[in-house]
Amino acid sequence: MGLINHVFGADSLKKLYPSNLGIGHTRYSTSGISELQNCQPFVVETLHGKIAVAHNGELTNASRLRKKVMKHGVGLSTSSDSELITQLLAFTPPLENDDTADWVARIKNLMRETPTSYSLLIMHKDIIYAVRDPYGNRPLCIGRLIPVGDMNGKGKDNSETEGWVVSSESCSFLSIGAEYYREVLPGEIVKISRHDVQTLDVVQRSEGDPSAFCIFEYVYFARPDSIFEGQMVYSVRKRCGQQLAIEAPVEADLVSTVPESATPAALGYAQKCGLPYVEVLCKNRYVGRTFIQPNMRLRQLGVAKKFGVLSDNFKGKRVVIIDDSIVRGNTISPIIKLLRESGAKEVHIRVASPPIRFPCYMGINIPTKEELIANRPEFHDLANYIGADSVVYLSVEGLVSSVQESIKARQENNPKNQKAFIGKLGHCTACLTGDYPVELEW
């Protein structure tokens, strides 16, 4: 429990040195309480040896599956749907004879039992299976470890590979000396052994059903240098800012941002409008990310302590602030107040994503419907409520086109491209539109 730096000191890492494969998980728990028992990977002994399972996502039919597993007589020791997956892999009938287990058959059976959302790593003996659900809802990608001595080398002449890494986000590869190799495709089961990466099967949705990668990864969660579906997250965010400038221009003196996740959108907006990009706030170092803090009081304190004001940069000016999202509305409000009290003449808010209105059941910890500003009466007079001169969100269509534009361009240029995606292109916009890609169960 705790931050990785505290949990894994030099001593505990040293114990792992003789090993040559392993899986782990930095769980930011969504389903199931944040408890020691819910720590991943789940490891169980089966008739055919130990398996370890790390799971990113959330099963939409977890409740029914729990009953099924317990009805079979399995006592579940946690509230986690990741333990559920582990036990499903252990008992999935028909059980084979005592000598061998067909893990691929078991994984495919699991995929029939539950549609989404899961990106999985399953370790058994010297094999790791990387699995992404048929909707492709959660990201998963593969990196290649480059031989030491050329740590940042692009490796044109590096036919050799030191090993493989799998991660939700490609941005993690650089800092361990690996390079991006490719995405695990929606529905794909990849078998990774010491020197080899091999597609075992691809479980597809019905013909014509689009995939449903979470659009919120682009908007908020992913690090800007991560690559999804062949494009850099930063570029998508910048396009969102440009699109926002088209949809909602404003007469102002300067464009700025709430540092630092909205900076690409702000630069895109400023460029498109022809207004100067200027910094109005600086980050107070050593204060964590707002979204991740666990309760309201801490979140408010967090906002108060989070920024310094660069008042000389905007005194007497009309300011456009680009934010990446307004979820509850209690972060932006004190910022606007701060800017006005420090001399801003006008403060206009432009949000580089549409309002969140619906809960996510597929792995993102979105506040309750009642907490979402878009579902509250104040939303009808939002500018007034947050104290802004104006506030406009990006449209859903604007977001979707910013995300899909360059993918489609690539598809048209190279219709045979099967590496970047599979099946019909689509994204899950459920939290914005309420259109869930899968029927929900309780």
Picking from 31, 20, 61, 21, the residue whose alpha carbon sits closest to that of residue 366 is 31
Residue 116 touches a copy of itself, criterion: CB under 8 A: no
Question: For a copy of itself, how many residues bind (rule: CB under 8 A)?
Answer: 74
Residue 253 in marked binding region: no
Minimum separation from the CB atom of position 438 to a copy of itself (A): 25
The footprint of a copy of itself on residues 305-364 (CB under 8 A) is 305, 307-313, 334, 337-338, 341
79 binds a copy of itself (CB under 8 A): yes
Rounded (10°) CA dihedral 5, 50, 184, 220: -40
Closest of 305, 268, 275 to residue 290, by C-alpha: 305
In sequence order, the 6+-apart residues with CB closer than 8 A to the CB of 224 are: 232, 233, 234, 237, 261, 264
Task: Rule CB under 8 A: say whether 234 interacts with a copy of itself.
Answer: yes
| Shortest reach from residue 202's CB to a copy of itself, in Å | 26
Inter-CA distances, 188 with 144, 201, 422, Å:
18, 6, 10
Q: Give the footprint of a copy of itself on residues 413-432 (CB under 8 A).
A: none
Query: Which residue, 36 or 370, is less far from a copy of itself as judged by CB?
Result: 36
Given 14, 15, 285, 297, the residue binding a copy of itself (CB under 8 A)? 285
**Any known ligand binding at 428?**
yes
Near a copy of itself in 198-227, by CB under 8 A? 223-226
Residue 77 CB, shortest distance to a copy of itself, in Å, is: 5
Footprint of a copy of itself on residues 244-283 (CB under 8 A)?
A: 260, 263-264, 267, 271, 276-279, 282-283
Give pairs for 357-360: CB < 8 Å, separation 24+: 357/431, 357/432, 357/433, 357/434, 358/430, 358/431, 358/432, 358/433, 358/434, 359/431, 360/216, 360/430, 360/431
Give the chain's end-to-end CA distance (angstroms, integer): 29
The piece of 74-82, 129-137, 386-394, 418-426 that touches a copy of itself (CB under 8 A) is: 74-82
Which one, 199 or 417, has the nearer CB to a copy of itself? Answer: 417
Question: Residue 323 annotated as binding?
Answer: yes
Q: Which residues make up each annotated binding site for Mg(2+)?
A: 261, 323-324
